[in-house]
């Protein structure tokens, strides 16, 4: 055994033995099970036929070569139907066409069964016999579960008495196959064409609105998620956080929103180039609402931006291109991680311990003018690379052009990489990104499901696309609202004849994610589990206590790991914008509205006692009009009048800067929040303090709902309380309400009220 191997083994052992249940520092967040997955001890050879996918019948859908790309597009049509169809990009597609000439070759299938490694351990090591996605693992029943119906015998009785959970799969679209397998494994009841009476769970393929009029149960989509995860809105949400917490949010590449920030982009790049002539940055242009690499291209000069309709570029994001990615076998790859947002209020986030790594099919070279159009070198999208003659479909989970993430981690660990740190950084990136999205999601949520109105609760599986830089720092590329849950792929079985065949790696990862999402959302389980600590919940979900499992088989341990609220301590100080959102929702008034009217804004100022002799109500009105107009002018398609959340956040930042000069922005904002919250609390105790909002009843209801949690009240260790409530009421005269709150950001503060058009980053 080489010294190096010993070192890796010791490192892995240390990671495994790191304590559970102990609150860890952010830098120490460890996903214990993934590390187990990476341990050489948990790697066992399995025959290809052992994979669940291989055991299933191969669907016999054939298409001809001529129809290949058509059928590929058609596959995703349902979910892509709302995506903006991109203009073709000849420069990039040239490469695709050239490589397609190779597609007549038999598919390169790695047939190395002897060496085939299955990384076990997407679940805990338990005692007894069970199947983890086709593999036998021991089961360990939690000894200390002895109370109530949770001891084994009682729970088995309860499970026998229980009616099966019902799932409406009518709108599941391309997730259907993985969903059916999951439901079968759980012995739940599927309603493939819907049901007259209510189901427990509704599985939608695209959006919350796939089925309207659901008034109970749970839906697997949040209202507004598609809109929030469009490239422009994601960029805006992260940017707001970057303004407050620049260090914490430096995992997102520098981005500009087009067309409105073209000048800013152009000027900043020219200045940077002038100050350092050796700088030759590359930029990647991504159309808003695009997916699967559609319409993406690289440029080295702002002048190379493609224009449409004469002078306008399409709505898109231009982003700094990460030119030094980590390579494996000289290939660029990215990571797809599945993340479950189980609830917004309280915020609950789970990360799948296993993900996918998607490889490019042409050796990577740093961008140069010559290779900018080489998609198979620069873009890791499966949908693009599968068209390359070099794409390797493999039955193994640890080789080929699409592999499990744990196999990549294992490979990195064997090269001496500190995978514990990599995983910890990834978890941190995921939590921070969701914290950035939550404020606006709450506004959408309350507009669609106002408190007091009957409606379902929501959860959603998101697909995080992450790139590892050469220095191992994870970078967020994008988040998919509808990640592909397909578990089969198209394969050319003989020249010109294509079939859909099971994809073992997709099945290994995706069925586990869907099944365990369902287990977490099980209405009965949800109620009974809450009294147990999280580590016990996981064991219970994997134990025969559930009595579910196909043909009496015990279900595998959970592949989803809770990361929030588990790591609340380390991250709650970032939830500042959520506190601003609570104020916004409180004064929003009318049900279903997402924009604050002028009266609501005035009431906010008055109730929080923010006006005084230097800051009159007339000035407040000017501030409102100025900010609202500017946002409206930037959003020609906005249908609702009034001040959206992002405009309100801008106004709030502005007020905070005026009042608490010379502090860093984050402290100014927190100080103003403390002022407002204290005032409102006083009023709650009887000091009326100002006029009621436009619709006081609704506002009260909302404030109750928003007051359930007080995001961000836990103070960050570095955060200093900078003022006492009510202090500094003598704000200086407002010179011009138009004064931008930050010169660098003034032009891009625009809010989009996007009706659910379902355009967005949907895959398949
Ligand atoms: P899409 O939704 O169309 O897949 P992505 O943002 O995921 O758009 O980008 C497509 C691919 O382009 C990614 O999978 C990745 O390989 C590459 N990519 C995206 N952004 C960057 C970036 N900033 N630096 C380097 N590569 C990137």
- The pLDDT confidence band at residue 592, using thresholds 50, 70 and 90, is confident
Q: How far is the CA of 379 from the centre of ligand 1 (A)?
A: 6
Q: Which two tokens stand for residue 48?
A: 């290809």
Nearest alpha carbon to residue 309 among 87, 94, 639, 89: 87
Q: Is the confidence at residue 740, as pLDDT, over 60?
A: no
- At 700 the pLDDT is 34
Q: Is the confidence at residue 58, as pLDDT, over 80?
A: no
- At 212 the pLDDT is 85
Q: Among all chains, which residue has been given the structure tokens 């590449």?
A: 253
- Report which DSSP code applies to 111: -
Name the range with the highest mean pLDDT among 74-78, 360-364, 547-551, 686-690.
Answer: 360-364
Cross-strand pairs, 314: none
Q: How far is CA 472 from the centre of its chain?
A: 20
- Per CATH, the homologous superfamily of domain 572-682 is EF-hand (1.10.238.10)
Residue 482 CB–ligand 1 contact under 6 Å: no
Q: Report, as an integer, the average pLDDT of 6-22.
A: 44
Q: Is the confidence at residue 308, as pLDDT, over 80?
A: no
Q: How far is the CA of 95 from the centre of ligand 1 (A)?
A: 17
Q: How far is CA 86 from the centre of its chain?
A: 23
| Ligand 1 atom nearest to CA at 296 | 3
- Report which DSSP code applies to 314: P
Distance (Å, whole) CA 327 – CA 634? 40
Q: Report, as an integer, the average pLDDT of 613-617.
A: 92
Q: Is the confidence at residue 372, as pLDDT, over 80?
A: yes
pLDDT digits (tens, 9 = 90+) for 453-483: 889 999 999 999 999 999 999 999 999 999 9
- The pLDDT confidence band at residue 492, using thresholds 50, 70 and 90, is confident
| Ligand 1 atom nearest to CA at 332 | 16
pLDDT digits (tens, 9 = 90+) for 720-739: 333 333 333 233 222 222 22
Name the range with the highest mean pLDDT among 45-54, 309-318, 333-342, 635-644.
Answer: 333-342
Q: Is the confidence at residue 441, as pLDDT, over 90?
A: yes
Strand (E) or helix (H) holding 287: strand 283-287
List strands edge to edge, sheet with 497-502: 62-64, 497-502, 488-494
Q: Is the confidence at residue 186, as pLDDT, over 60?
A: yes
Q: Is the confidence at residue 716, as pLDDT, over 50?
A: no
- At 40 the pLDDT is 33
Q: Report, as an integer, the average pLDDT of 116-138.
A: 30
- Residue with the nearest Cα to atom 20 of ligand 1? 477
Average pLDDT, the chain: 74
Residue 383 CB–ligand 1 contact under 6 Å: no
Q: How far is the CA of 319 from the centre of ligand 1 (A)?
A: 9
Q: Is the confidence at residue 144, as pLDDT, over 70?
A: no
| Ligand 1 atom nearest to CA at 480 | 2
Q: How far is the CA of 324 from the centre of ligand 1 (A)?
A: 14
- The pLDDT confidence band at residue 511, using thresholds 50, 70 and 90, is very high
- The pLDDT confidence band at residue 277, using thresholds 50, 70 and 90, is confident
- At 177 the pLDDT is 96
Residue 379 CB–ligand 1 contact under 6 Å: yes
Q: 661 or 527: which carries more pLDDT confidence?
A: 661
- The pLDDT confidence band at residue 684, using thresholds 50, 70 and 90, is confident
Q: What is the DSSP string of 24-77?
A: --GGG---HHHHHHHSGGGEEE--GGGSHHHHSPPP--EEEGGGHHHHHHHHTH
Q: Is the confidence at residue 292, as pLDDT, over 50?
A: yes
Nearest alpha carbon to residue 464 among 493, 430, 440, 432: 430
Q: Report, as an integer, the average pLDDT of 345-361.
A: 97
In this structure, the chain runs to a length of 764
- The pLDDT confidence band at residue 436, using thresholds 50, 70 and 90, is very high
Q: Which of 284, 321, 355 to mutate to test the pocket of ligand 1 (most atoms within 8 A of CB)?
A: 284
- At 130 the pLDDT is 29
Maximal C-alpha separation, the chain:
82
Q: Which of 379, 385, 462 to mutate to test the pocket of ligand 1 (most atoms within 8 A of CB)?
A: 379
pLDDT digits (tens, 9 = 90+) for 69-111: 333 333 333 333 333 333 333 333 322 222 333 333 333 333 3
Residue 543 CB–ligand 1 contact under 6 Å: no
Look at residue 237 and give its three-state secondary structure.
helix
Q: How far is the CA of 762 from the centre of ligand 1 (A)?
A: 14
Taking residue 660's Cβ as centre, other Cβ atoms within 10 Å add up to 22
Strand (E) or helix (H) holding 465: strand 460-468
Distance (Å, whole) CA 87 – CA 78? 19
Listed in sequence order, the residues at least 6 apart from 303 whose beta carbon sits closer than 8 Å to its beta carbon are none
Residue 381 CB–ligand 1 contact under 6 Å: yes
Q: How far is CA 152 from the centre of its chain?
A: 36
Q: Is the confidence at residue 759, as pLDDT, over 90?
A: no
Residue 478 CB–ligand 1 contact under 6 Å: yes
C-alpha R_g of the chain: 26
Name the range with the highest mean pLDDT among 17-26, 136-145, 492-501, 576-585.
Answer: 576-585
Q: Which two tokens stand for residue 260?
A: 């409105």
**Lowest-confidence region among 209-218, 361-370, 489-498:** 489-498
- The pLDDT confidence band at residue 193, using thresholds 50, 70 and 90, is very high
CB-based contact 50:135 (threshold 8 Å): yes
Q: How far is the CA of 313 from the centre of ligand 1 (A)?
A: 19
Residue 763 CB–ligand 1 contact under 6 Å: no
- The pLDDT confidence band at residue 554, using thresholds 50, 70 and 90, is confident
* Interaxial angle between packed helices 598-607 and 576-588, expressed in degrees from 0 to 180 and rounded to the nearest 10: 120
- At 589 the pLDDT is 79
Residue 293 CB–ligand 1 contact under 6 Å: yes
- The pLDDT confidence band at residue 274, using thresholds 50, 70 and 90, is confident
Q: 720 or 312: which carries more pLDDT confidence?
A: 312
Q: Which two tokens stand for residue 396?
A: 């193994």
Nearest alpha carbon to residue 575 among 345, 745, 754: 345
pLDDT above 90 as % of the chain: 54
Buried b (16+ CB within 10 A) or exposed e, 305-340: beeeeeeebbbbbbbbbbbebbeeeebbbbbbbbbb
Torsion 534-539-541-545 (CA) sign: negative
- The pLDDT confidence band at residue 491, using thresholds 50, 70 and 90, is confident
- The pLDDT confidence band at residue 632, using thresholds 50, 70 and 90, is confident
pLDDT above 70 as % of the chain: 63
Distance (Å, whole) CA 749 – CA 747? 6
Distance (Å, whole) CA 8 – CA 725? 53
Q: Is the confidence at residue 61, as pLDDT, over 60?
A: no
């Amino acid at each position: 055994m080489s010294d190096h191997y010993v070192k890796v083994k010791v490192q892995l052992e240390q990671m495994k033995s790191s304590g559970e249940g102990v609150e860890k520092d952010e830098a120490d967040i460890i996903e214990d099970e993934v590390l187990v997955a990476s341990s050489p001890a948990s790697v066992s050879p399995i025959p290809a036929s052992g994979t669940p996918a291989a055991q299933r019948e191969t669907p016999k859908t054939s298409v001809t070569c001529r129809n290949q790309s058509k059928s590929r597009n058609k596959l995703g049509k349902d979910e892509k139907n709302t995506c903006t169809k991109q203009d073709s990009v000849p420069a990039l597609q040239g490469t695709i066409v050239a490589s397609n000439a190779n597609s007549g070759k038999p598919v390169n299938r790695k047939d190395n069964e002897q060496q085939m490694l299955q990384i076990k351990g997407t679940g805990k090591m338990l005692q007894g016999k069970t199947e983890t996605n086709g593999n036998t693992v021991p089961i360990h029943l939690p000894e200390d579960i002895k109370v109530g119906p949770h001891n084994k015998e009682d729970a088995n009785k309860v499970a026998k008495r229980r009616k099966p959970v019902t799932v409406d799969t009518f709108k599941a679209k391309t997730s259907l196959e993985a969903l059916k397998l999951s439901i079968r494994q759980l012995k739940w009841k599927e309603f493939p064409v819907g049901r007259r009476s209510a189901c427990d769970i509704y599985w939608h393929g695209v959006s919350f609105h796939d089925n309207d009029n659901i008034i109970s149960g749970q839906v697997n989509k949040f209202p507004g998620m598609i809109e929030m995860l469009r490239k422009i809105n994601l960029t805006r949400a992260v940017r707001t956080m970057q303004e407050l917490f620049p260090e914490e949010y430096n995992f997102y590449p520098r981005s500009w929103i087009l067309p409105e920030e073209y000048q800013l982009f152009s000027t900043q790049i020219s200045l940077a180039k002038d100050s350092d002539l050796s700088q030759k940055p590359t930029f990647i242009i991504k159309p808003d609402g695009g997916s699967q690499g559609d319409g993406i291209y690289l440029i080295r000069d702002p002048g190379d931006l493609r224009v449409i309709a004469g002078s306008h570029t399409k709505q898109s994001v231009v982003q700094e291109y990460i030119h030094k990615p980590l390579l494996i076998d000289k290939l660029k790859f990215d990571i797809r991680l599945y993340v479950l947002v189980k609830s917004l209020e309280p915020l609950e986030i789970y990360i799948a311990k296993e993900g996918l790594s998607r490889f490019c099919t042409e050796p990577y070279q740093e961008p140069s003018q010559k290779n900018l159009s080489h998609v198979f070198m620069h873009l890791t999208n499966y949908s693009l690379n599968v068209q390359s003659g070099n794409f390797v479909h493999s039955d193994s989970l640890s080789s080929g052009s699409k592999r499990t993430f744990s196999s990549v981690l294992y490979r990195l660990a064997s090269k001496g990489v500190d995978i514990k740190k990599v995983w910890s950084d990834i978890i941190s990136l995921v939590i921070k990104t969701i914290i950035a999205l939550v404020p606006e999601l709450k506004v959408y949520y309350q507009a669609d499901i106002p408190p007091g109105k009957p409606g379902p609760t929501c959860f959603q599986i998101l697909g995080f696309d992450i790139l590892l830089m050469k220095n191992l720092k994870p970078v967020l590329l994008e988040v998919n609202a509808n990640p592909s849950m397909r578990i089969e792929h198209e394969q050319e079985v003989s020249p010109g004849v294509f079939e859909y065949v099971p994809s073992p790696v997709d099945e290994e990862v995706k069925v586990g994610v869907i099944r365990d999402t369902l287990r977490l959302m099980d209405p009965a389980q949800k109620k009974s589990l809450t009294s147990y600590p999280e580590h016990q919940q996981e064991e219970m979900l994997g134990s025969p206590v559930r009595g579910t499992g196909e043909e009496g088989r015990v279900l595998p341990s959970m592949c989803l790991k809770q990361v929030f609220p588990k790591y609340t301590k380390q991250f709650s100080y970032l939830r500042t914008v959520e506190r601003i959102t609570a104020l916004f929702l409180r004064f929003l008034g009318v049900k279903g509205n997402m924009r604050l009217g002028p009266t609501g804004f005035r009431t906010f100022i008055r109730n929080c006692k923010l006006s005084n002799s230097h800051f009159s109500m007339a000035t407040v009105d000017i501030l409102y009009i100025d900010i609202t107009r500017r946002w409206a002018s930037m959003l020609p398609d906005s249908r609702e009048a009034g001040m959206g959340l992002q405009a309100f956040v801008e106004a709030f930042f502005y007020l905070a800067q005026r009042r608490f000069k010379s502090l860093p922005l984050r402290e100014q904002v927190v100080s103003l929040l403390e002022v407002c919250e204290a005032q409102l609390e006083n009023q709650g105790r009887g000091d009326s303090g100002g006029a009621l909002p436009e619709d006081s009843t609704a506002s009260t209801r909302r404030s109750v709902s928003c007051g359930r949690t007080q995001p961000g009240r836990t103070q960050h260790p570095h955060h200093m309380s900078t003022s006492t409530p009510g202090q500094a009421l003598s704000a200086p005269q407002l010179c011009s309400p138009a004064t931008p709150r930050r010169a660098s950001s003034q032009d891009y503060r625009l809010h989009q009220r996007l009706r659910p058009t379902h355009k967005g980053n949907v895959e398949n």
